């Protein structure tokens, strides 16, 4: 078997075979597919039926805002999960964390499908919904970051963009599966059937994927970059004092025969300022996260509630856009490997900002063909395309010692500020103004934040991922 990845660390080269990479890729793809299927199932349910099942005592507009709010609380839990599991991933390894996060996330999602409704137990129903949403979010807080780190650290240097884009393909697969399931339910079930039992089917089905994902992750080897780090001893990252002692000794055997390069590498990791890299990563994340909340979540409910179109129109558009994403995502990954990460980011975000108003005009035109085309373009440019570049770029921004934690935090803080708050803000602004233009403005603002960050960020293509210090 041919070696695919070789990483030089404290104990010599760490190698992984093509088969190891294939397992890691399958695990990363399925895990992120499951995460985004679970979250898209929830977001679509929040936009389509949860306002009637869990919040029936309020008027439709307020019910939609309340449903969007329960969607948003999961992102607060994701932030807590990013801190907890991110630090665990940097200290104990990527594999253990990925196993725990998929388990917690999958069980929580399945239990949502077994919840009693407001009509059955009253106010306790939305309370339980929020509890499970919090548990789901806590597990998901480090899932996408862990899968990203694992894939990028496994990938050959010249193909990191392509391999890293598998994370985006996983998210796209999950979104497609969730949207497809909801499209079938909306097309085949009556309103009464959907509200009484049909909405449970997608959540209960996720248990099958959970079993497969847990099995796959139990057979994946640890990241070669984690094992090759200069601050790792016996598979566990050393703390600050242990690092200095190990650096002085070199090989950690206590005989004092360490080498100066090792001391320099570790001290660089301890003293390097990391604030700039984190802020840049947060900005790079902001546009994709905000656009995702608007396009994949809010617009689905907006099309039905405000444009008075059939609910299947928007879900069908998301399905078509997700199918197109299977071409868009790897192309963006390959392009970033050829021309660099910054040019790709700049091009995608600039296009999204320029097209925001024209696309929204097409969506509100009432023409289903124009609406579908606009949502497909918005999804592939402003969400999936940026995500394909984001997966590898954000991982390359950080040094090996804190990559998992900082990547998870930047993703989840961006999610809280943009994806979680965005749909609630959009629902409020469109209700207050009685118009669609705030949605276009929000798309422009999100995209411009990421555009500025991309201009300020360094080019990260091809950098050494084993180094402890940050690239920025």
Q: How much is the mean pLDDT over the chain?
A: 81
Q: Which domain holds residue 64?
A: 16-228+268-456
Domain count, the chain: 1
In a domain, 252, yes or no: no
Q: How far apart are CA 64 and CA 50, in angstroms?
A: 8
Tokens encoding 369: 């063909």
Q: How far apart are CA 403 and CA 471, in angstroms?
A: 11
The length of the chain, given as a count of residues: 472
Are 389 and 397 contacting, i.e. CB atoms less than 8 angstroms apart? Answer: no
Q: Which residues pair with 363 in a beta bridge?
A: none
Handedness of CA 295, 296, 298, 302 (dihedral sign): positive
Q: How far apart are CA 35 and CA 437, in angstroms?
A: 31
Q: How far apart are CA 163 and CA 155, in angstroms?
A: 6
In a domain, 463, yes or no: no
Collect all residues with Cβ–Cβ distance below 8 Å to 302 and sequence separation of at least 6: 426, 427, 430, 436, 439
Q: By C-alpha distance, which of 401, 418, 382 is closest to 79?
A: 418
DSSP character for 199?
T
In a domain, 142, yes or no: yes
pTM of the model: 0.79
Q: Is 368 helix (H, G, I), strand (E, B) or coil?
A: helix
Q: How far apart are CA 270 and CA 229, in angstroms?
A: 13
In a domain, 39, yes or no: yes
In a domain, 166, yes or no: yes
Are 340 and 256 contacting, i.e. CB atoms less than 8 angstroms apart? Answer: no
pLDDT in tens, 9-67: 444 446 667 777 788 888 878 888 887 788 778 777 876 777 777 766 555 555 555 66
Q: How far apart are CA 69 and CA 10, in angstroms?
A: 47
Q: Is 312 helix (H, G, I), strand (E, B) or coil?
A: helix
Please name the residue that has the structure tokens 């390097």: 272
Burial string for 274-308 (b: 16+ CB within 10 Å, else e) reads beebbebbbbbbbbbbbbbbbbbbbbbbbbbbbbe
In a domain, 467, yes or no: no
Beta strands 232-233 and 236-237 are antiparallel
pLDDT of residue 136: 84
Q: Which run of H or of E encompasses 220?
A: none
pLDDT of residue 249: 60
Q: By C-alpha distance, which of 403, 457, 419 is closest to 171?
A: 419
Q: How many of the other CB atoms lie within 10 Å of CB of 74?
A: 29
CATH of residue 111's domain is 1.20.1250.20
Long-range Cβ pairs for the range 460-463 (8 Å, 24+): 460/341, 460/392, 460/393, 460/396, 460/397, 461/160, 461/161, 461/336, 461/337, 461/340, 461/341, 461/396, 462/157, 462/158, 463/396
Positions in the chain short of pLDDT 70: 1-16, 47, 55-72, 230-235, 237-274, 468-472
In a domain, 197, yes or no: yes
Q: Which run of H or of E encompasses 233?
A: strand 232-233
pLDDT in tens, 373-393: 999 999 999 999 999 998 899
In a domain, 7, yes or no: no
Q: How far apart are CA 74 and CA 71, in angstroms?
A: 6
Torsions phi, psi of 326, nearest 5? -70, -15
Q: How far apart are CA 101 and CA 78, in angstroms?
A: 11
Collect all residues with Cβ–Cβ distance below 8 Å to 359 and sequence separation of at least 6: 374, 375, 377, 378, 440, 443
Longest Cα–Cα distance in the chain: 76
pLDDT of residue 2: 43
């Amino acid at each position: 078997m041919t070696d695919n990845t070789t990483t030089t660390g404290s104990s010599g080269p760490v190698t992984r075979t093509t088969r190891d990479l294939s397992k890691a890729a399958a695990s990363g793809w399925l895990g992120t597919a499951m995460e985004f299927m679970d979250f898209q199932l929830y977001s679509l349910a929040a936009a389509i039926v949860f306002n009637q099942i869990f919040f029936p005592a309020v008027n439709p507009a307020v019910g939609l805002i309340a449903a969007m709010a329960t969607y948003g609380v999961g992102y607060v839990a994701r932030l807590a999960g990013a801190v907890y599991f991110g630090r665990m991933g940097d200290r104990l390894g990527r594999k253990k964390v990925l196993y725990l996060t998929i388990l917690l996330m999958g069980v929580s999602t399945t239990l949502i499908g077994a919840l009693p409704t407001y009509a059955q137990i009253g106010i306790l129903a939305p309370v339980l919904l929020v509890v499970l949403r919090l548990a789901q979010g806590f597990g998901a807080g480090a899932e996408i970051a862990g899968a990203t780190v694992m894939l990028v650290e496994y990938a050959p240097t010249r193909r990191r963009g392509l391999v890293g884009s598998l994370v985006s393909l996983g998210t796209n697969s999950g979104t497609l599966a969730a949207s497809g399931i909801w499209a079938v339910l909306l097309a085949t079930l009556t309103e009464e059937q959907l509200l009484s039992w049909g909405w449970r089917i997608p959540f209960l089905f996720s248990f099958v994927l959970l079993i497969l994902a847990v099995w796959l992750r139990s057979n994946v080897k640890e990241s070669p970059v984690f094992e090759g780090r200069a601050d790792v001893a016996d598979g566990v990252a050393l703390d600050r004092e242990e690092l200095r002692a190990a650096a002085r000794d070199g090989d950690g055997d206590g005989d004092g025969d360490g080498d100066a390069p090792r001391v320099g590498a570790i001290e660089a990791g301890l003293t390097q300022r990391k604030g700039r890299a984190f802020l840049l990563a947060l900005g790079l994340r902001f546009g994709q996260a905000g656009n995702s909340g608007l396009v994949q979540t809010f617009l689905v409910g907006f099309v039905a509630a405000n444009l008075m179109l059939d609910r299947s129109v928007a879900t069908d558009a998301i399905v078509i856009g997700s199918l197109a994403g299977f071409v868009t995502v790897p192309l963006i990954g390959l392009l970033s490997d050829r021309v660099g990460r910054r040019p790709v980011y700049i091009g995608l975000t600039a296009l999204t900002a320029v097209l925001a108003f024209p696309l929204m005009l097409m969506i509100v035109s009432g023409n289903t063909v124009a609406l579908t085309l606009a949502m497909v373009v918005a999804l592939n440019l402003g969400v999936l395309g940026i995500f394909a570049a984001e997966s590898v770029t954000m991982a390359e921004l950080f040094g090996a010692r804190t990559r998992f934690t900082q990547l998870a935090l930047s993703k989840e803080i961006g999610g809280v500020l943009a994806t979680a708050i965005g749909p609630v803000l959009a629902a409020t602004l469109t209700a207050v103004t009685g118009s669609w233009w705030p949605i276009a403005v929000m798309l422009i603002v999100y995209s411009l934040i990421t555009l500025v960050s991309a201009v300020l960020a360094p080019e990260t293509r091809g950098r050494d991922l084993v180094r402890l210090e940050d690239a920025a």
